[in-house]
A and B are shown apart, each in its own frame.
Chain A
Amino acid sequence: MAASTIAPASYRPPGALDAARALEPYSGRWDHRLAAHLLRRAGFGGSPADVERLAAMPPSAAVESLVRFPDSSALPAAPAGLEVQPLPPRGLYRGFAQGMAADQSTVDARKAFQMQNNRTRRQNLIAMQTWWLERMISSPAPLQEKMTLFWHGHFTSSPEKQTTAQELLAQNQLFRAYALGNVRDLTLHVSQDPAMLRYLDNNVNVKAHPNENYARELMELFTLGIGNYTEQDIRESARAFTGWSFQREPDGSGRFVDHPYQHDDGTKTFLGRSGNFSGNDVVQIIFEQPAAARFFARKLLAFFVYDDPEPQLVDRVAALLGRSGFELLPVMATLLRSNVFFSERAYRALVKSPVEFVVGTHQLFGVAEVRLPELGALRAMGQTLFYPPNVKGWDGGSAWLNSQTVLTRENFANAVAQNPMMTQTADWLVPTLRTMDPQRIAATLTDALLQGDVSPAARAQLIAYLGGAGQAALSQLSGENVDQRVRAAAYLTMAMPAYQLE
């Protein structure tokens, strides 16, 4: 058994930060290894051809090609065939909330309705997840999808409170539209987003009965973090959000509605200021707090650079956010181009999330379609799209890694390698396959999947597994056996620890 290294106190990379030069443009050696690093972080890894294309440009042009989103309008903007959640027949639930007894035919009718309701919900969720994953795999603007995923895990909403697929889709499109937009504007839109209004109960936050759920999470998890506001600030800002609700449209979508008669018009004192504040004012005041810039800086660094970033680094990125007025594009352009981003300390310093693992593997093996069992695999890996575990989103990092999730990752990689079409869709593999040379096949696999981040011993073992150093070994096997060896070698390359890291 290896020496136990479980759960160090922090996953900040070892070594010292050069804070003064951290955000200056990187000017060191530029190769396909660093181009792949950029594409893993600002996208999902891409294919070997995508990596080569970036490696052939100067780093500044490579970053520009990612932050200036190429046109992605050729992709389907919404999943096909979303159904409208059925409404119960009139009177079916009369007396239900009061716990009144119902006769057998009513109970049966309710059960039938519930089954229909659940079926629609499940079908819609499958359609939504498939659509988004396929978008991530095929989009010419991978950073647009990566940022959409970032916001999805940040401004969390889930179908738990009977939110419709159409509402969650609209929220997803909002995240995509504001992918590298203004964070303050996005926060205001999120505060008026029907899926969010429902998920955090602002639709029942009214003057007579304020509900603090949204106000609390807005500050704790979405913008400021604990310690930067008081319980009194929560109560006061909840009053400011009273009356913000939504109306369900016949097509299942929601429309934001501001009910003035349910809004508390009194004076509120919030974060040291007083006035008849609305939800809009609350968002503006929040973004005037220095804690807001630091909060987003820390979250962006932990998602794109490394865990537990140093306070000096957080402060520098926070200053960028302040200078840009929370416009994200220039901040991300600087960050993705920076010394700290391309430093050895940041390289493979993050654990791939399940979505990154699955989407990246699809891109590598040239498989555009997502099949139903993969959605189940993603759930078992701990990440169900449109279903974050709680309002805090996915913890990430070491929380992705346990026996169950790692087994599911490996079995998924095995299934991809065993896909009958693999030896054709992975076009980078085809020319080497013809050589029947174990050394060249092993080199191609470790280059494409790991950019050569493999030990000499593992490389030798992979070659031995493929039949040894000589060409003769593979040539003597039947075609079927060669095929099996290559598939298993591809899988085993993905089983190396480096493949779990980005």
Chain B
Amino acid sequence: MSGLSVVGSFDSVFAQALAQTPLPGLPGAADRVLVVINFQGGNDGLNTVVPFGNPDYYRYRPSIGIPPSDVLRIDEAVGLNPNLAPFKRLYDAGKVAIVQGVGYPDPDHSHFRSTEIWQTATPKSYATTGWVGRYLDEAGLPKDNLFNGVALANVLPELMIAQNTDVPAIDALRGYGLNSDRNSGSRDAFHEFARDTTVPFRSPYLAHVAEIEDHAQRGAQELPKLVAGYKTQAAYPATALGRSLALAAQIVGSKLGTRVVYVQHGSFDTHVTQKQTQDRLLADFGSAIAAFYDDLAAHGNDGRVLTMTFSEFGRRVAENASRGTDHGEAAPVFLIGGGVKGGLYGDHPDLARLNMGNLAFTTDFRSVYATVLERWLGRPSLAIVGGAFPTLAALA
């Protein structure tokens, strides 16, 4: 939890809106999964979706600009970073929507605050829950399912902090379990002790600790059994992202009732010699996401998994003297897979009209969330994103 003070007004708006009638269910929405990939550290959008047709781009980036001949062309104005070849093939197959120029008003340039804004969807206040957490709370999912949401990370991201849903954070399947459970006596005793909160002291954390211990034991007992039958059928890169997406495909393919999976990738914080770092991370992303959809398709799951990427901000338009870029503003968001109507959405930010050296956003990030919530997960977005934002045609 952040150390920032909590503003109550947002949560009460949220509580009121909860009382609204939900949208009628979308057909098939109950089987749908959202995978969210966080490009941590601020990915440079301009060298990801490259405006190679614009001479200003090369003027701002004399040494790190990507030459037109290297760009994987989408049209005569923009194309993809050359390290994204497998991802470009997904695009060419109509499986990728690129929403250009995504951001929010009065952008914050701090990693922490901007990450928090993207994850809580509250640029003007400090919420204690994440936007996915609020979805998990209000979607009417089975309360006894321990895997409604799963974070593939060793620390639970703010995005998945909920009021009433415990989201397990799983770093890797291996080692996910209590060693003492091999002995039935200690297994049963742990089960009782972890639930014993009738202690001679009060602590604001006590009930929370007890509940997490109970969930941890039960979840770890159940998860390996639930996913054991799954056979991975794609060659993932031997990287952290490759391993995370392989596990995500396994969870999706094992019918755990999981609705949202969180995956992280990075760090993209390329202040100095940007090219090496970004090239490596984008190449990793391209091959991992292609393997992920191959694996999903081999199990007939590709149509029910939508993947969304985000990053806390794009980067400054002009390169700095260290062949890097500083914290910026708007950047593209990718929507991949199920339900996607491939193509470019939103306007590419205008390089001739910068906001103090930064790209001005053309699509509010909450419009992207609203699109995913309403057109994919079949839930009203008003309360979750804290306002009425138009949805995009990027999803069917």
What is the interface of chain A, defined by CB distance below 8 A to chain B? 1-2, 4-14, 97-99, 160-161, 201, 204, 206, 208-209, 211-213, 216-217, 220-221, 226, 231, 298-299, 302, 306-308, 344-345, 347-351, 379-380, 382, 389-392, 395, 397-399, 401-408, 410-411, 414-415, 452-455, 457-458, 461-462, 465, 488, 491-492, 495-498, 500-501
Q: Give the complex CA separation of A13 and B205 in angstroms.
A: 9
Residues of A within 8 A of B163 (CB): 6-7
The answer to whether A402 and B167 touch across the interface, beta carbons within 8 angstroms, is: yes
Q: Give the complex CA separation of A245 and B193 in angstroms.
A: 54
Q: Closest CB-CB distance, A10 to chain B, in whole Å?
A: 6
The answer to whether B272 and A201 touch across the interface, beta carbons within 8 angstroms, is: yes
Q: Does B16 contact A (CB under 8 A)?
A: no
Q: Closest CB-CB distance, B317 to chain A, in whole Å?
A: 15
Could you pull out 25 A-B pairs where Cβ atoms are within 8 angstroms?
A10-B128, A11-B1, A212-B326, A231-B109, A302-B3, A347-B201, A350-B205, A351-B209, A395-B1, A398-B1, A402-B151, A403-B176, A405-B169, A410-B179, A411-B175, A411-B179, A455-B198, A488-B180, A491-B180, A492-B189, A495-B180, A495-B193, A496-B194, A497-B206, A500-B209
Q: A457 touches which one: B161, B194, B196, B320 (CB < 8 A)? A: B196
Q: Which B148-198 residues have a C-beta within 8 angstroms of A?
A: 151, 154-156, 161-171, 175-180, 183, 185-186, 189-190, 192-198
Q: Does B323 contact A (CB under 8 A)?
A: yes
The answer to whether A497 and B210 touch across the interface, beta carbons within 8 angstroms, is: yes
The answer to whether B212 and A402 touch across the interface, beta carbons within 8 angstroms, is: yes
Q: Is the interface of B mostly helix, strand, loop or mixed?
A: loop
Q: Give the complex CA separation of A213 and B270 in angstroms.
A: 12
The answer to whether A390 and B205 touch across the interface, beta carbons within 8 angstroms, is: no
Q: B201 touches which one: A299, A462, A492, A498 (CB < 8 A)? A: A498
Q: Closest CB-CB distance, B216 to chain A, in whole Å?
A: 4
Please judge, given known A-B contacts A7-B163, A397-B1, whether A492 and B186 are in contact too, CB under 8 Å.
Answer: yes
The answer to whether A455 and B185 touch across the interface, beta carbons within 8 angstroms, is: no
Residues of B within 8 A of A382 (CB): 154-155
Map CB proximity to A onto B1-18 as digits: 1 under 8 Å, 0 otherwise. 111101010010000000
The answer to whether A349 and B179 touch across the interface, beta carbons within 8 angstroms, is: no
Please judge, given known A-B contacts A5-B211, A204-B321, whether A407 and B178 are in contact too, CB under 8 Å.
Answer: yes
Q: Closest CB-CB distance, A104 to chain B, in whole Å?
A: 19
Residues of A within 8 A of B194 (CB): 495-497
The answer to whether A399 and B128 touch across the interface, beta carbons within 8 angstroms, is: no
Residues of B within 8 A of A408 (CB): 175
Q: Closest CB-CB distance, B63 to chain A, in whole Å?
A: 8
Q: A406 touches which one: B1, B109, B179, B213 (CB < 8 A)? A: B213
Please judge, given known A-B contacts A97-B323, A491-B180, A501-B205, whether A403 and B216 are in contact too, CB under 8 Å.
Answer: yes
Q: B206 touches which one: A6, A492, A501 (CB < 8 A)? A: A501
The answer to whether B209 and A501 touch across the interface, beta carbons within 8 angstroms, is: yes
The answer to whether A9 and B205 touch across the interface, beta carbons within 8 angstroms, is: no
- Nearest 3 Cβ contacts at the A-B interface: A403-B168, A402-B169, A403-B216
Q: Give the complex CA separation of A496 and B175 in angstroms.
A: 21
Q: A389 touches which one: B155, B167, B197, B322 (CB < 8 A)? A: B155
Please judge, given known A-B contacts A399-B1, A402-B212, whether A213 and B326 are in contact too, CB under 8 Å.
Answer: yes
Q: Closest CB-CB distance, A297 to chain B, in whole Å?
A: 12
Q: Which residue of A lies closest to B190 (CB)?
A: A495
The answer to whether A392 and B204 touch across the interface, beta carbons within 8 angstroms, is: no
Q: B271 touches which one: A201, A379, A457 (CB < 8 A)? A: A201
Q: Which residue of A lies closest to B4 (CB)?
A: A226
The answer to whether B205 and A351 touch across the interface, beta carbons within 8 angstroms, is: yes
Residues of A within 8 A of B209 (CB): 351, 401, 497, 500-501
Residues of B within 8 A of A216 (CB): 109-110
The answer to whether A5 and B193 touch across the interface, beta carbons within 8 angstroms, is: no
Residues of B within 8 A of A403 (CB): 166, 168-170, 176, 212, 215-216, 219-220
Residues of B within 8 A of A217 (CB): 110
